[in-house]
Structure 1
Amino acid sequence: MNRTDRLLAIMLELRTRDFCRAEDLAEKFETCKRTIYRDMQALSESGVPLTAVPGKGYSLMEGYFLPPIRLKPEEAMTLLLGSGYVEQNLDGEFRQHARTAQEKLEAVLPASQQEEVIRLKETVRFLPGSFFPEAQAYADYESKLVSLRTAIMGKRTVSFGYRKKFEQNNLQSGRRTVHPYGLVNISGIWYLVAYCLLRKDIRHFRLERMDGLICEAETFEKLDGFELQKYIPDQDMPFSIHVIFDASVQDRVMETRYFYLHTYKMKEDGLHVTLQVRQAEEVFHWLLSWGSKVKVIEPQSLADRIREEAEAMLGIRQKSIESC
């Protein structure tokens, strides 16, 4: 990093923190404290209002605004790509903000950078991750996003009916009241991370399975220490399923990026895969879709279920042939 870039980076660091020690800045920018002292002197001489407090470090006078930042083409492209992702994966309000942000950013770039950004834009594109066959379904989905986002920002309790898959693939509905902590997007699918008042613990809820979402008047405070960006969910998938895929489909299996896939290893007899699940029902139909290309090793109960289902399908086909 050259000195000009480092001076700007130091100012940005000071802008986001109350105090910065010279040793911390030296470690961050991989230089020595003597160089940081010279940088601080240079910033002060250029008119940047700095204060130094013994034992605490340097700080930037409150209210000081940084001069316009000159972005590299790659930095500008990174911001434009980020706004493009937001435009495709958030609700209408943020789509509009994303578009205007793109327009403003592109307008202030120098002509040479605009040309470079245009060329870079031709190399990457984001498409919506979720498919909605009906316009009304998409509108309902957007409405949930807006309502949940509002509730999260206002720390408002929400309630909704939730459909969850259980044994024999029956859908059972139950009313849930939760404290919404944040929204997480996984492969284009939105999940709500929330403290469930029924389970007395943090749970995850898929937006498509919510019905009758209501923002309640009651407010809440998050659990002490909870940070969405650092949150790692507990592994509540106690059951392991061992299957072997035929070598001819190993690439297709890996390309699915299947959520429950835990480990895999190629051996002489095929691709050995371990699935980690809460219950076997969660992967039953996915395994069945691979037909003769997959063999369930354990548990035996799941292997028996798949064989019974295959026999039932064969019976239906036989009856259809006989009736013709």
Structure 2
Amino acid sequence: MDYSEINRLSRLTAILIQLQTKRVVTASELANKFDVSKRTIYRDIKALEQSGVPVLTEEGKGYSLMEGYKIPPVMFTEKQANALILAEQLVLKSKDASFVKDYGEAIEKIKSILKYTVKDKTNLLTGRTQYQQVLSQERNSDNLSDLQYALTNFNLVRIAYVNKEKMVTERIIEPFAILNSENWYLVAWCRLHDEFRFFRPDRIQKMEILTEKFEPHKMTLQEYFDKYH
């Protein structure tokens, strides 16, 4: 399978998620979202129909999925769905671009399995919920998702780190915890200094997740604070 086929398969899947997320979606909206022509979207919709997906065309409106097409594997109450939307707005305040992107994609997938009645209300809530800080928030890092992956899979990470004195050093670290207090902070065992250190993701110039694993630190975050602070 070449890149163009993989790219189209990815787009078809994403279009299906869009159809499951919203009651009606237009060809123009999809074309803009995926940066393709409307003719390409027409072909993609036809491909979905030919594969058995019940796409309904509403003249002058757009496309929708037949109600009840997908039986959701997980059911959310209206209050739970609202909590997720509120959490999305809190995540938007994050200064890390990768975290915002991954959470946004996850929320789209969660919305796709909601009942239409709840889905309409959560889409309304999305449009009516906003924090002013989001409008001017600058993203100053793009590595939080990778650091989370390394933390949960116990992968060593090689970083080029800029300290407060603007000096750059290369270090091998063992991610332990991620904290937030106006900015994100990574707690990690630094092999260069043989001790736990705090690192700001926005000061990481280069980062590589290594295949080599480290021995998990067998303590909770509270035990870490009790021991080292």
TM-score by length of 2: 0.52
1:191 maps onto 2:185 in alignment: yes
Q: Please say if residues 162 and 169 of structure 2, whose CA atoms lie closer than 8 Å, have aligned partners that are also in contact.
A: yes
Q: Please say if residues 88 and 103 of structure 2, whose CA atoms lie closer than 8 Å, have aligned partners that are also in contact.
A: no
* Matching residue within 194, 216, 229 for 2:210: 216
Distance 1:110 1:150, change over 3 A: closer
For residue 92 of structure 1, what is the aligned residue in structure 2? 101
Give distance in 1, aligned partners of 2:103 and 2:126: 23
Give distance in 1, aligned partners of 2:119 and 2:200: 43
1:145 maps onto 2:144 in alignment: yes
* Matching residue within 114, 118, 138 for 2:124: 118
For residue 159 of structure 1, what is the aligned residue in structure 2? 158
Q: Please say if residues 192 and 204 of structure 1, whose CA atoms lie closer than 8 Å, have aligned partners that are also in contact.
A: yes
Cα deviations across residues 96-130 of structure 1 (Å, max 9, x unaligned)? Answer: 1123323434636287xx38x83696255472785
Q: Please say if residues 80 and 102 of structure 1, whose CA atoms lie closer than 8 Å, have aligned partners that are also in contact.
A: no
For residue 177 of structure 1, what is the aligned residue in structure 2? 172
Give distance in 1, aligned partners of 2:115 and 2:136: 26
Give distance in 2, aligned partners of 1:120 and 1:91: 15
Q: C-alpha displacement at 1:157, in angstroms? A: 0.5
* Identical positions, percent: 22
Cα deviations across residues 143-195 of structure 1 (Å, max 9, x unaligned)? Answer: x2233233223211012122212xxxx422222211012322322x2221211
Structure 1 vs Structure 2 CA RMSD: 3.5
Read off the aligned partner of 2:181 and give its amino acid letter.
I
Q: Please say if residues 148 and 180 of structure 1, whose CA atoms lie closer than 8 Å, have aligned partners that are also in contact.
A: yes
Cα deviations across residues 209-234 of structure 1 (Å, max 9, x unaligned)? Answer: 11221222320122222x34775374
Count of residue pairs the alignment pairs up: 151
* Matching residue within 180, 196, 199 for 1:205: 199
- Structure number, greater radius of gyration: 1
Q: C-alpha displacement at 1:84, in angstroms? A: 3.5
TM-score by length of 1: 0.39
Q: C-alpha displacement at 1:206, in angstroms? A: 0.2
Alignment map for 1:1-324 (pairs within 5 Å): 71=77, 73-86=78-91, 89=94, 90-105=99-114, 107=116, 109=118, 114=121, 118=124, 122=128, 124-125=130-131, 127=134, 130-132=137-139, 141-142=141-142, 144-165=143-164, 170-187=165-182, 189-225=183-219, 227-228=220-221, 232=225, 234-235=228-229
Q: Please say if residues 86 and 98 of structure 1, whose CA atoms lie closer than 8 Å, have aligned partners that are also in contact.
A: no
Q: C-alpha displacement at 1:205, in angstroms? A: 0.2
Where 2:225 maps in the other structure, the secondary structure is coil
Q: Please say if residues 83 and 99 of structure 1, whose CA atoms lie closer than 8 Å, have aligned partners that are also in contact.
A: no
Give distance in 2, aligned partners of 1:102 and 1:230: 37
